[in-house]
Amino acid sequence: MKKEYVIGVDLGGTKILTALSDLEGNILKRSRVLVGDVKDKDTVVTKIKETIEQVIEETEVDLEQVAGIGLGCPGPLDIEEGLIHHTPNLNLDDVNIKDELSDLNTPIFLENDANAAALGEQWFGSGKGAENMIYITVSTGIGGGVIINGDIYHGTSDGAGEIGHMTLDPNSVVKCGCGNFGCWEALASGTALSRLGQEALKAEEDTMIDDLVDEISEVDGAVVAKAAAKEDEVALELMNTIAERLGTGLASLINIFNPSRIVFGGGVSNSWSLLEDKVWETIEARAMDSLAEKVEIIPAELGSDVGVVGAIAAALAHIKK
Amino acid sequence: MKKEYVIGVDLGGTKILTALSDLEGNILKRSRVLVGDVKDKDTVVTKIKETIEQVIEETEVDLEQVAGIGLGCPGPLDIEEGLIHHTPNLNLDDVNIKDELSDLNTPIFLENDANAAALGEQWFGSGKGAENMIYITVSTGIGGGVIINGDIYHGTSDGAGEIGHMTLDPNSVVKCGCGNFGCWEALASGTALSRLGQEALKAEEDTMIDDLVDEISEVDGAVVAKAAAKEDEVALELMNTIAERLGTGLASLINIFNPSRIVFGGGVSNSWSLLEDKVWETIEARAMDSLAEKVEIIPAELGSDVGVVGAIAAALAHIKK
């Protein structure tokens, strides 16, 4: 039977998003289930299979027509083996997902979720045509995927691309989730913006942010961005601080990778117009001119679809290679 | 005629080192000329040809038996085109070296000098067998070459690998030669160590460094290292500072690249035994555990031979591909 389809599965901490697409990435059917409170291997595997069966049944496609299933999953992983070493939000520890899904008789292509997102943007979003591209997603944390000579760069043990854990400021006392202090993620993510906003309120600064929340703890990155969009000066200053920190990290990546494109996704990228000038000002000050002039920074296109589209791209990347 | 040899040319600011080797990298003959004071295109090209002719004549090899000539050169370059955009120490601006050497009728493989050094260590030195390797050379500056999946990663415009120009400390007021402030190179190179040593003398600290020089300006990195090797406490503290800064940058590179090996060359690497503990302590604090445990750091093997051996490796990398 002709292999005319692929399936992408975006395995998240709260939900599983699955989609069936043709070999051009056109999505024919989607399926979505909540993981629920019982998070163990059997539950997660059963729910993955349910979503796959659903897209198959509802399109009347035969599983034999599916060339492969891309599975985007939080790391650390062993991609070749299909091993999920650990996922904090799903209680999967040393689960071989290829083995667990072997009864589907379809090739399974495991990929780190940030790498899958990078592939998604490269195949179907803002990364189209870029051979050397850095995908950066800035939301609660900072994640990324590095595409080199057209392919995801996985590194020695499938752990490359932890760009959010570059040390941005070695003297910083802000502790990162990874254990290090002063990581890019700790200082330039949406969480960092939220922290700056909360600190501004605690310092009783005169800002509209105050009017947008009932409690200081409600100040998240989006609230600060909202106040900045309304030209609140304190909020604009905080956005500038984040933009400078983003630009500093990006300048280092530009000097290291000489990419042609940086695709900027995640919640904070929705405020790109407020960040752009300061990000570029910082890059121009800190990156080598000959490299800075070769790169463009483009907001991501796929939005909340990036996970499942990325999983589809991960499958296509294997099949079409 | 059978192609049994390659030639490597290491084009430096003061001298040109050339060597003829067999296809296993065994050097049969070397040649060396000083560039001299007249540094212009014609002089440099003539001297390159002289060194090549010399190794050919003295070995009675026919140039037709030479499969290719690797040329290691300071950047920025266009490698495919053979274009040297600019070399500060040689007054070469937009010189097409392939055209200039076309009368040799032998393929010319241009390579950035730091990348060539990385290839040299990978083929014949401490990098043997490493598919994902970072070569770092710490002397006056910090340079490097990144080997990914077995090959040098060149980036979009042959400018990748400027690892010395990562921003190490965004609040630093130390200006780097590149124009940025707080680059890794500005804070962790031999020049930085020299500066720390000179500052210690100016602050009249009680240190053996004082006895090793007549003038404060004579304090270079090697002098500080010498005092540290004799267990001078001030000098040991300065070495620790440099080691911590080296470790911070290396931790970021480990998080980004997940390499299996880091090869550490340049003058400062001669003091590896004095730096090693603090470098690793810093990496363990700042890099992700799963990535730190996959990497080894090994001092470079080739010493002052790295340039010409690297140029030979650059030729072999093309020929044997």
User: Given A161, A180, A252, which is nearest B166 (Cβ)?
Assistant: A252
Contact B255 A162 (CB under 8 A): yes
pLDDT at A153: 97
User: Given B85, B253, B286, which is nearest A180 (Cβ)?
Assistant: B286
What's the one-letter identity of residue B318?
A: H
Residue A78 contacts B where some CB pair is shorter than 8 Å: no
* Mean of pLDDT over chain B: 96
Other CB atoms within 10 A of residue A131 CB = 16
**Domains of chain A in sequence order:** 5-121+305-319 (3.30.420.40), 128-300 (3.30.420.40)
pLDDT at B301: 97
Contact B258 A291 (CB under 8 A): no
CA distance A142 to A155: 19
Tell me the β-bridge partners of B17: B10, B32
User: Given A155, A158, A252, which is nearest B257 (Cβ)?
Assistant: A155
pLDDT tens digit string along B98-115?
999 999 999 999 999 999
Nearest residue to B18 (alpha-carbon basis) of B44, B49, B43: B49
* pLDDT at B65 > cutoff 90: yes
pLDDT at B147: 98
Contact between A65 and A4 (Cβ < 8 Å): yes
Quote the minimal CA–CA distance from B226 to chain A in Å.
28
Which of B258, B279, B281, B296 should we substitute to test contact with A (largest number of A Cβ atoms within 10 Å)? B258
Chain B partners of A248 at a C-beta cutoff of 8 Å?
A: 167, 170
pLDDT at A177: 93
Residue B153 contacts A where some CB pair is shorter than 8 Å: yes
Quote the minimal CA–CA distance from B21 to chain A in Å.
31
pLDDT at A36: 84
Which of helix, strand or coil describes residue B260?
coil
What's the one-letter identity of residue B7?
A: I
User: Given A76, A171, A259, which is nearest B155 (Cβ)?
Assistant: A259
Rg (CA), chain A: 20
Nearest residue to A54 (alpha-carbon basis) of A80, A18, A86: A18
Q: pLDDT means per 10 residues in chain A (321 residues)?
A: 95 94 97 88 95 96 97 94 89 94 97 97 97 97 96 97 98 96 98 98 97 97 97 98 98 98 97 98 97 98 96 96 74
- Alpha-helical segments (H) within A178-266: 184-188, 190-202, 209-212, 221-229, 233-257
pLDDT at B87: 85
What's the token pair of residue B85?
A: 């955009």
Contact between B317 and B284 (Cβ < 8 Å): no
What's the token pair of residue B163?
A: 């690892």
pLDDT at A93: 92
Residue B104 contacts A where some CB pair is shorter than 8 Å: no
pLDDT at B214: 97
Q: Angle at CA B58, nearest 5°, toward B54 and B61?
A: 95
* pLDDT at B89 > cutoff 90: no
CA distance A70 to A8: 5
What's the token pair of residue B103?
A: 């009368």
ipTM of predicted assembly, 2 dp: 0.96
Contact B159 A288 (CB under 8 A): yes
* pLDDT at B88 > cutoff 80: no
Nearest residue to A242 (alpha-carbon basis) of A206, A285, A202, A190: A190
Residue window 239-298, chain B: list those with CB within 8 Å of chain A: 244-245, 248, 251-253, 255-260, 285-288, 290-291, 294-295
What's the one-letter identity of residue A184?
A: W
* CA distances for B171 relative to A165, A185, B183, B251, B292, angstroms: 18, 18, 10, 19, 27
Quote the minimal CA–CA distance from B7 to chain A in Å.
28
Burial class for B204, CB neighbours closer than 10 Å (0-12, 13-18, 19+)? exposed
What's the one-letter identity of residue B20?
A: L
Contact between B243 and B278 (Cβ < 8 Å): yes
What's the token pair of residue B209?
A: 């460094």
